[in-house]
Amino acid sequence: MKPLLLGLCLAATLSASTAAAQGIPVPEAWDYVRMTPEERSALRDRVDALPPELREAHTTKLSANVNTLPTWLYEALSNELVARHHCTTGSYNGPMPKPPVPDAWGYVKRVPHQRYHYRLRARGLPAAEKAVYDAKMAEEMAKLPAWLQAALQEEAVRYDAYLGLDPCKRPGIGAFYSDAPKAVSTPQSVQWDLTSSKGQTYRIMIAPPLTPPPAGGYPVVYVLDGNANFGTVSDALRLQGRRPDRTGVSAALVVGIGYPIDGPFDEKRRGYDYVVRSPGSTSPKHGEGGQLEPDSGGGAADFLSFIETELKPAVEKAYVVDRTRQTLLGHSFGGFFTLYTLFNRPQAFQNYLAFSPSVWWNNRSLLEDERRFIAARKAGDPPVSVFVATGGLEETKRIPMVSDSREVVSRLKAVTGVKTDIYIAEGEDHGSIVPTALSRALRARIGDGFKK
C-alpha cells in the first residue's frame, strides 16, 4: 500500500538537496500532515513539473519521511493523493488504464482505496463498455455472501461520499479520519435477532472466514453464551485458521447464540434454556447471590429444537456449511447443554466441546442421560468426539467439577465410536477456563489437529 502514496519510485539517483535547489524543499513528515489538502496538491503539481531525475529524488525523499507516520495516517494521505491526482491525470503516472474485472475474492482482498480506484476507472469507460463491465462485476459479486456484498456497498457509498466523483473538491483527511472515537467490532462479523416459533428472541452472531468455502462447505462452530464467548472463539479461529498447516486449526464459520442484551450473560434465560427442570430443593445453590428460583430450568429440549429446526436452516440459507463438520461449544450451564445434546441427540453435531460442564445440576440427572446414550450406542453409529475442559481450581466439596468431568469422560472412553479428551487446567478457575483451553479444543476438534 505505501508505495502508492507518492507513486512508484525507483532508487534515488540524486540527493534531496538537488530538488531543494529548484525551490521545492522536501517537508518533514508532520509538516506535510499539517499542510492543507490544497497545499499538498500544489506541492505535487510543482514536483510533477520537475525534470524526471529531480522529480524522482524529491518523491523518494518525501516518501521516506512520510513512511515514519502511523499506518492509518499514511493510508489517509494515500487516499487523498490518489483521489486528487485522478482529477488531473486519471491515474498515478499517465492516462487512465482500462480496469480489469477482478475475481470476487481478489476484489475483497484489496484495500478500500484500491477498490475506489477501480470504480473511478470504470466511470471513465464509454457507456457500452461500462455496461458490459458492470454486468461482469455484478456476476462476480454474486459469488460473495450477502453480508459481504452489503459491506462492500456500504464502503463504496462511504468512500464516494468522502472522496467524491470530483475528488479535487472534497474535504481534507479529517472528514474521514477524525479524532473522534470509533466503535470497535469483531472483523467480518454480522448479527441479527431471530425469534423462535416459541416467541423467544435470540441474538445470532456470525463470523465467516474471509476465504471462499471449500468444496464441502465451511465447518461450523455453534457457540453458546454468544454475548460472552463469540468474540473469543471467532478471534481464535480467525487467527489460527489462517495457517492450518502450522496451527492444526481449520478455518470455520462461527455462529454465536446469545440474547438481545448489552452484557455478557442473561442469567435468567440461559438458566432456563440450557438445563432441564430442577426443583430448587434438589440442586446446590447457584447463580447470582447463590440462590435458585423455586423451580428452575426446563427449556433444554425446546432450545435444542430451535437450534436444529430453525437456527441451522437460517445459517445454511446464508452460508455453504459442511453438515459433517459441526461443533457445539458451551461453558458451565452451556457445558451441561453440550453434553445433554450429545446424550439425547448425538447426530446433531460431530464435535462437542464442554467447558466446566455443570454435571451437578438437578442432582446429577445428566448421568442418567449418559447411561441411556451408552446403552443405545451400537456398531456403525456415526462417530462423535467429546472434549471436556475444567479448571483445576473448580473442585469444591459443594460442586466437584473436576471429579464430575473425569467421571463422565472415563465412561465415554470405553464407548465405540466416541473420541474423548479431557484437559484439567491447573491454576485456572470457572471464569478463566474458556480462553485457557480454547486453542487445545480447537486444535483437537476443528480439523484433524497437527498432522505429523
Nearest to 351 by CA among 215, 249, 232: 249
> Over the range 192-221, which residues count as b (16 or more CB within 10 Å of their CB) and which as e?
eebebeeebebbbbbbbbeeebeeebbbbb
Type and span of the H or E element at 88: helix 71-89
Catalytic residue positions, numbered: 332, 394, 430
- Residue whose C-alpha cell reads 462437542 in the numeric block: 352
Cβ 19 vs Cβ 59: under 8 Å: no
Residues contacting 50, CB < 8 A, separation 6+: 19, 22, 24, 58
Kindly tell me the sign of the dihedral angle through the C-alpha atoms of 275, 280, 283, 289: positive
DSSP letter string, 290-359: G---SEE---HHHHHHHIIIIIHHHHHHHS-EEEEEEEEEEETHHHHHHHHHHHH-GGG-SEEEEES--T
d(CA 109, CA 94): 25
Structural contact between residues 365 and 371, judged by C-beta atoms closer than 8 angstroms: no
> How distant, in Å, are the alpha carbons of 8, 143, 400 from that of 63?
10, 38, 63
| Cα distance between residue 171 and residue 163, in whole Å | 8
